[in-house]
Structure formats: C-alpha cells, structure tokens
Chain A
C-alpha cells in the first residue's frame, strides 16, 4: 500500500513530522494561516470562546481575539453572504457552517454570490474565502446531523469543493484554500475528526487544489472515493489483496473542479472503475464520475462503471439498524469490486 502521505514525508527525519488527528491538523492549519496572513478571520456559530461544537477552533479566540474569531448569530445566509462582502472589501473570511444539514439556508449565498461573484462582475470582484463545513455520517447523528451534500455544490462552477481524508491533506488543502483566489467550500468529515491520525510535516506545505491522489496502486480495478468512504475503500482493497485482486484507489480530494486526468489515466490501466461515495445514489458524486468515464474513457472499459453509495433514502436515519443499512461498509464495497472485476 502506497499512501500519499508516506511518500510525501519519506526521507524526512522523524522530528520533521508530527502525528496528529484530522481535527488537530485543521486547527493547526487555521492557526498557522491566521499567523501568516492577518487578513484571515473566522466567523461562525459557537466558534469563539467555546472553540466550536467539535473544538476545531479551540484556542484560536484566545490567540487572535474577538475581531478575528467572531461568534455569529444563527444566520447561515448572512454568514456566507456577509463573508462575500468582507472578502470584496479585502479580507479573507472563513465562515463556518456548523453542520452540512444547515447549509441549505446559505444556498443562495454560496451559489449566487460566492460562486458567481467573479463571473457576474467580469472578473472585477473576486471573493477568496474558505467556507468550512462539517459533514458526514457514521456518528449516530440521525437524519439532520449526518448529511453529505457535496453533490449539490459540484454543480456550481466558480466554487472549489474539497474534502480531505487524512490529516496531511486536511492541513495542506486548508492552507492551499486560504492562499488561492477562489471561494472554497472545505468539507471536513466529522467521523474522521478523531478516528484518523496520521503524519503531518512540521514545515509549511500545501496540497494542490484540483488534484486527486493515487493512494494505493493496483492493476485490476480503480476505486475512486474521498473522505470517510476512502478509508472504507482502502479497507476493502486490503481484504481483496488477500484474494489476489489488486485494487488501485484514488482519493479525489477536490470534488470541484475534479481531476479527470488522474482518473482516466488509472482507468486506462485497470479498465474497471468503481465510485464509492457518501450520499444518496441518484445524481450523486458517482453519477458525474461515472458519466465522465463513460464519455471520455469508454474505450478503456472492460466492465460497466459501478456506483457504491447509500440507497436513495433522504439521509442516514437515526435508529441503529437503519443507520447501519445506510453507509456502505468495507464488505459492501469489496463485493461491488469483486463483481466489477469478475464482469
């Protein structure tokens, strides 16, 4: 197994690398970027002295004060649209949407204003900003605290949508987001916050936006995934290795604009593709990736592109047996990969 992080940190001496959780990498990324660029400020519900409901902004209020870490009223639309204004006026805002389940209240702000500001003004106005949004299931959050709404925002040219799977990428993508000129919707998976630990360099680095990573090389089938589902896909790949199925796994990292080249290059090699994603199946992330492969890589394929996702239920329900039935686990993913390889 060849992890991107392992490669990136290879050759570094141990003292250049720290092991930390996904959420620690986010907090550290925020702190370092705020130290680097005083135009950056954070605004969101419960993020100041309280440190955020998941403690992602812990310690930042104490360090940077009330003008740079602002507790917002429960006004999701203002949070984003106000940030668009603050960005126009020369700051780099990072508004936090507490749960993806409430992002719909800011839909107009994100879609009409953040994503379209550059286009609608002929490039005159830009609104670099980093919208942080906590999302995802497998934490017992029920119908209204588990959502994963990335696919909606993949339909918004002008917006960059990212979601890291590792602490390394969490910090590197966050830094890249703060240093760019585009509005970035930075999706952080709440199940990964404290369950995933990994090496993070102590020196400054960024992870490029718009670039996927081949996190495991293989020759029989390509699995394309991200965030929590990436980890489950890697578990599935590990299981299948014992059966002699050699799985290549791609971490999309950026969902919009996503890295077609890396996907197609891999599918050209393996001739088979499975997309594993977290949200209802129809018109989800897999619909786009599958259609793109069918359109641009049809001649590479020896099997239909397979989608592995939750069923078309509105979201992860609360009762444990229903929640269990929602997100694909490594077994379900492995089964789909087996079928694709056997096709």
Chain B
C-alpha cells in the first residue's frame, strides 16, 4: 500500500519529536533537573516511530527503558513523559516506578517493570485476551537484541506461535546490550531467524530507514489484525550514546559510532521527503518550532508538578480487599 503524503508528514513529525525530546531529556538529566538515570535511544528513532505510527488507541504496546519514542508516537502526552522522568505527582505512576518506565492506560501503553523482556510477555498476554474476546486489537512488543537471550521472551513467542496471537515482535538490534556485544548474546547473525522456531515469519530490515520500518510494521500489523498470526521484525540499528547517561560506552570504537552516525535516520528520511516535495525548508522550520514549543510546555508542566508526599508511599499497594 503506498504511503500517503499525510502519513509521511505525520511520520516526519514524530521522528523529529522523538529525536528532539530525547536530546533534550539527556540535557535535562545532565543539568540535574531530574535525577536517577536516563536511557537515550538517539539513533534508533525509526525503530519505534515506524511500528507505533497509526496504531489504534486500543492497541497495546509493550515497552521498556529505551522506548520513550514508542510511547510518544503511540500518543502518550509529552507532559506525562516528562513528569515520569521528574518523578512527580502528576506522573501517571505517581512517582512510584523508575525513570524511563513510561505507561499510559488510555492508550494501552503498559507501565513496565525493569525486568528485561517482560514487557513482551505481558503484551503477549494482552493478545491472548484479544483472542478470547474476539477483538482485532494488536500488541506490539519491543525488546533489544539482548532481551532475546532471556528464556521468558521465548516462552512468549512460543505461546504466540501456538495460538497465532495478534502480536508484532520488534527487536531493536542495536548491537550492544549494555556493554555486551550482540555476538556474545545471540548466536545467530540475524535475530529474526529465531521466529522460525515458533512457526511464524521473521524478517530483518534496516532499522534506520523509516520507510522500511513503517512499511514492514504496517504489513505485520495488518497480518496480526486479520488473525494471521505474529511476525518478528528485527531492526538493525545503533544507539549513539551510552547504555544510560552514566555510561561512557568505552567498550565500542569511534569508527563504529561514526559509521552509524552517517546512517542517521532523521536526515535520511527528511532528505527523501524534501526530494519528493512532500516538505520544504519552511515546513521543517515550522515543525521544529512546534516541537520545541510542545517540549517547553511539557517540561514546565513536569517542573511545576510537586513531588509526591511521604504518606503516599502506601497508596496503590492493594485495592480494597
């Protein structure tokens, strides 16, 4: 199906929104405006914008520490993303969880725990419910390649394969799991090969090409919605910065980083849209100004929101027995 100009503009907006927000959050952390930690995904934006753009509100996404961009593209209000990072009372989690653990119920963005791969498993459970409820909702489940070494990720794919659940499994292969290279985490060249063991298709694509991530995801989402079962999409990509903002990433070479920076998904997509005349310089400027404005408002919202008070520590442990 050809991608319309409106879709391209929408993708362009989210691609930039995710990039600019991420760079800004890194700065806010370095300035000490929020504490704890921050996991940047700069360089990987196309791996989340592609699968999440155009999802329905009732679709679910299973995300974790590095998928702020997925939450943003699914539509989680930026102010709540920032309030989460700032651990404020107005964060959807009321300051309870952990930085970069975004969740927003109205849009099916499941608040994660830190356990790697778990977000995929829980979202697969949502897909089981969709099957029982005879709904055509889709669950898009994100992990890094490192998470695919974890047994429970395999349990989820195995189950999704057996019951042909409405799942799209996205693996963002950014070549590193914290400091461990993919070669020491995954014994196959392409993680997508693993889909074969679970009886559904797996594909490997260029994760820095938003056209590819969008079109491949759309196809997989259509398949899932029709009840044709899951797809595993491996997106090869790269994170520019450390595992978190406190990791200098000394384990990798400068050449490797430079190689990937040349494959920056943002200008790459932008160039094509400009060439096709979908956008021009003034559109670009207006888009970036709009994003900066939205970000300012979100940061202000978060900074003005109070921290939770000590007595709230026992709130939301139990529902009334």
Contact = CB atoms under 8 A, between A and B. Distances in A.
Interface string A105-149: 000110011001111111111101000000000000000000000
Given A75-B159, A118-B316, A124 B92 contact: yes
Given A78-B121, A124-B103, A257-B318, A85 B128 contact: yes
B152 A78 contact: yes
B149 interface: no
A120 B132 contact: no
A86 B126 contact: yes
B101 A120 contact: yes
B28 interface: no
A190 B163 CA distance: 31
B318 A112 contact: no
Interface stretch (B109-117, B189-197, B275-283): B109-117
A124 B105 contact: yes
B44 interface: no
A121 B96 CA distance: 7
Interface stretch (A29-37, A88-96, A292-300): A88-96
B40 interface: no
A181 B320 contact: yes
Interface string B104-141: 11000011011100100111111111111100010100
A120 B97 contact: yes
B60 A158 contact: no
A304 B121 CA distance: 47
A105 to B, nearest CB: 9
A39 to B, nearest CB: 9
Contacts of A97: none
A309 to B, nearest CB: 27
A83 interface: yes
Interface in B229-277: none
B287 interface: no
Interface in B45-102: 60, 91-97, 101
Interface residues of A, number: 46
A73 B152 CA distance: 13
B156 interface: yes
A109 B122 CA distance: 9
Contacts of B123: 85
- The contact size tier of chain B is 35 or more
A342 B46 CA distance: 75
B317 interface: yes
B111 A121 contact: yes
B105 A90 contact: no
A257 B125 contact: no
B23 interface: no
Contact of B317 (A81, A93, A158): A158
Nearest to B313: A119
A82 B316 contact: no
A88 B122 contact: yes
A157 interface: yes
Contacts of B315: 123
A200 to B, nearest CB: 22
A113 B62 CA distance: 13
Contacts of A181: 319-320
Given A91-B132, A108-B152, A120-B96, A85 B319 contact: no
Contact of A83 (B96, B125, B317): B125
Contact of A208 (B130, B152, B162, B321): B321
Contacts of A93: 125
Interface string A58-94: 0000000001100011010110011111111111010
Contact of B319 (A81, A180, A208): A180
A229 B128 CA distance: 38
B121 to A, nearest CB: 4
A209 interface: yes
Contacts of B97: 120-122
A125 B133 contact: no
A259 B113 CA distance: 30
Interface string B15-56: 000000000000000000000000000000000000000000
B204 interface: no
B296 interface: no
A108 B318 contact: no
A113 B122 contact: yes
A120 B155 CA distance: 24
B93 A182 contact: no
B305 interface: no
Interface in A192-217: 208-210
B2 interface: no
B151 interface: yes
Given A73-B162, A78-B152, A86-B128, A113 B113 contact: yes
B128 A82 contact: yes
Which of B103, B104, B110 has the most A CB atoms < 10 Å from its CB?
Answer: B110
A202 B274 CA distance: 74
A118 B319 contact: yes
Given A85-B139, A89-B129, 5 more contacts: A109-B118, A112-B115, A118-B317, A122-B91, A124-B93
30 contacts: A41-B132, A68-B132, A73-B155, A75-B159, A78-B124, A78-B156, A81-B122, A82-B121, A85-B127, A88-B129, A112-B113, A112-B118, A113-B122, A116-B113, A117-B111, A120-B96, A121-B105, A122-B93, A122-B94, A122-B111, A123-B315, A125-B105, A125-B110, A125-B111, A128-B319, A157-B317, A160-B321, A181-B319, A182-B318, A210-B321
Interface of A: 41, 67-68, 72-73, 75, 77-78, 81-91, 93, 108-109, 112-113, 116-126, 128, 157-158, 160, 180-182, 208-210, 257
